Structure 1
Amino acid sequence: MNVITAVIKGRHSVRKFKPDSIDESFIHDAIECAFHAPTAMNQQPWLIGTIRSKELLEKIAAFTDHGKFIADAPLCFAIFGERNAKYYLEDCCAATENLILGLQAYGVGSCWVAGDKKEYAEDIRRLMNVPEKFTLVALVPAGLPMEINQAPKKETKDMIFSDVFKKE
């Protein structure tokens, strides 16, 4: 295993954070990682906001169905995509994963909270005053993990096949 695969395999969702702030250089580098994600036709249709305001974090958390813990995070990233870009969802998901892995490399925990197609996507976009040409793709609350609980993963053999899928 090398350093990159160690970061990837060590990543897990974190929903309980210490109140400590995150080093600005970690945040900047993780965002740079997001901007280096693959993107169809090099459109780079993303816009990433960082939220630190406790009041705003609480409002965003209240809108979500599975992200109430956002209120207790020291930081949350909001990833938006240009609605009219043909592959905004794929591109912004790649950027979101790169952001999460960039944070993980510094020991910063996070959790992907869905935004695309969620009822609250427009409410959060308006709350953050993001132009209408963008739509919310993901929310990524982040911070130093309060605890580390890694959920078990399925067996690799149960999730792969070669050439043509064969029923058992």
Structure 2
Amino acid sequence: GRSALTLESIANGGTGVAAGGNSQGTAVSLSLINTDLTDASLRVTTLAEGGRATGTDGVGGNALTGNVGVIVRESALSMTDEIVIFANARGGAGAIQGGTASSGEARVALENSTIAVRALNTARAIMQVQSFAVGGNGNQAGDATSRLARLEMTNAAIRAGELTIESGAAALS
């Protein structure tokens, strides 16, 4: 089997008739100092999803995530398949109004360290740092705001088949 190191915060607003429930995810952080970590995937995430409103005049719930941060100092990580760090939010759906989504900052800081991600079997070797927000569906789409996604490197190296650092927001109806 494959090993995985996962730290996550998941918040879900409940389903309601007039309004979906609001959700707020907490901050998630991981510090690896003077560490050797091998043959595992790594996920450090916070996700919030607003609840759905089922009524014909319903308003979707709002979603807010905390920040996610990873600090790697004086370390060597030899990972398999993926390293995924994200702070994502999705507003709940409502007939009249979709819920607002606000995602936190996603930050990775590498200092005097190396990270290698290798594909196992048919998987891709991915390192992804993301902050993304999607407003809830509705007659009027919910607003969406994302914060910064960033990778800071000092005397560090990354080897991966795909490296993605992205921040974005979308309001869909």
Sort the TM-score into its range (normalised by shorter chain): under 0.3
- Give the number of the structure whose alpha-carbon radius of gyration is greater: 2
The structure carrying a bigger strand percent of its residues is 2
Greater relative contact order (Cα < 8 A, sep 6+): 1
